[in-house]
Structure 1
Amino acid sequence: MEVFERWRTWDAARADLAELRPALDADSIGRAAHAAVRWHGDQTRPTGAPYLEHLLEALEILVRGAGETDPDVLCAVLLHDVVEDTATTVAEVEAEFGPRVAELVDWVTKPPAAGAGRQAKRAARSAYLRRLRDAPRDAVRVKLADRASNVQTLDRMPPDFQRRYYAETLTYIVPLAADEPWFASWYASWRERYAHLL
């Protein structure tokens, strides 16, 4: 199973993009990376690493793994958490990056739970994940890259989280990869690597 962790900074990503996809407009993708940094601010990953690392991993998965070249999709993957995890709105994303990027971000944004309890949060999360079955192909690719970044090093998470996240990924995310050959293959390898969590 390939792990994507080479792009720790935008400069590293930009250098690889120039080599791998010279026809790609790296400036527009760079604008999305800088906007993500601005909007996410001081947020970090559970490991304490800068949040940008997750976004760049998802970008690397789409570019180096899945061969994505659509600039809107690549911008959306860098911005996929800004509405869910910050005060940024879909309208603000649209104002800076256009309606298509905003729509993709909106599709992969988990809505807030209707109640504060654990059951309400769980129900909202399940409804969001089921809704992804109706998402446009490009939004699905953004979600597949997002989750691949989150689960590629699942063994670094607490054991109870590992089992829960593994099961959720098998139930809701792996089926989304069925029509995406690269992602289907990657998730099959991932599933085998972490099969002991069942």
Structure 2
Amino acid sequence: MGRQALRTFGPVRAWAPLRAELSGRLPADTLAALDDAVDFATARHGGQTRPAGEPYLEHLLETVTVLTDGVGVSDPDMLVAAVLHDVVEDTDTTLEEVRDRFGPRVATLVAWVTKPDARPEEDKAATRARYLARLTNAPDDALCLKLADRLSNVQRLDTHPRPAKRRSYYRETVATFLPLADRHLWYATWYANWRQTFAHLDDTART
């Protein structure tokens, strides 16, 4: 039997159709919390786009879709954190603002998936290495969120405009996120399939 086709999520162009899809599965108060989070994220991310040019909100909503349709998450704090997961890292928003508006657990989840500020002696690579190493100690809910975020980022990796970034992102995902995915059966299966689908980016195999 051949390899199963890679399951992808989205693209999710807007909140309204996704909300309609989720309305039969999530309680009204969860949908209301997501309404607030989407409004907040839309205002804070503004006109930001992703590397391939898509509006930033698409990535945030894809992350929600991975959690709801892939993993089966209905936890409102996790879904709100999925919408907000880049708001501290990529905008002027502070964790305190997130905590005040969305509560301490959402803020904690966002903190786990937010890259830290560089230390005085660190270069960019060292800061990123420290961030990735920290994820090995992430609690299960934060790790589940991060794996959904990464899944959205890599599920269409060939659309990234920079070939070198495709290869480095592939290597980093294999080295760091596949071992982390082993903590969750659904993610372990998805990422193993992803690795095979994008094996053409494995430049280490040619050395």
Compute the TM-score of the two structures, normalised by the length of structure 2: 0.90
Deviation, structure 1 residue 18 = 1.1
Question: Larger Cα Rg: Structure 1 or Structure 2?
Answer: 2
Question: Do the aligned residues in 2 keep the contact of 1:115 with 1:121 (CA within 8 Å)?
Answer: no
For 1:151, the aligned partner's letter is V
Question: Do the aligned residues in 1 keep the contact of 2:9 with 2:65 (CA within 8 Å)?
Answer: yes
Asked whether 1:94 is paired with 2:99, we answer: yes
Asked whether 1:151 is paired with 2:154, we answer: yes
What CA RMSD, in Å, does the superposition of the two structures yield over aligned residues? Answer: 1.4
The list of structure 1 runs, each at least 4 consecutive aligned residues, that deviate by more than 4 angstroms after superposition, is none
Asked whether 1:160 is paired with 2:164, we answer: yes
Deviation, structure 1 residue 93 = 0.2
Residues 69-95 of structure 1: per-residue CA shift (max 9 Å, x gap): 100000001100011011100000001
Tell me the distance in 2 between the aligned counterparts of 1:22 and 1:197.
38
SS at match of 1:88: coil
Deviation, structure 1 residue 112 = 2.1
The within-5 A match list for 1:6-155 is 6-19=11-24, 21-23=25-27, 25-114=30-119, 120-155=123-158
Deviation, structure 1 residue 146 = 0.4
Deviation, structure 1 residue 145 = 0.5
Residues 97-129 of structure 1: per-residue CA shift (max 9 Å, x gap): 00000000001100122359xx71001001101
Asked whether 1:178 is paired with 2:185, we answer: no
SS at match of 1:179: coil
1:169 counterpart residue number: 173
SS at match of 2:92: coil
Tell me the distance in 1 between the aligned counterparts of 2:33 and 2:189.
30
Tell me the distance in 2 between the aligned counterparts of 1:8 and 1:27.
19
Question: Do the aligned residues in 1 keep the contact of 2:26 with 2:74 (CA within 8 Å)?
Answer: no
Tell me the distance in 1 between the aligned counterparts of 2:165 and 2:173.
12
Deviation, structure 1 residue 7 = 2.4
Correspondence for 1:194 among 195, 198, 202:
198
Number of aligned residue pairs: give it: 195
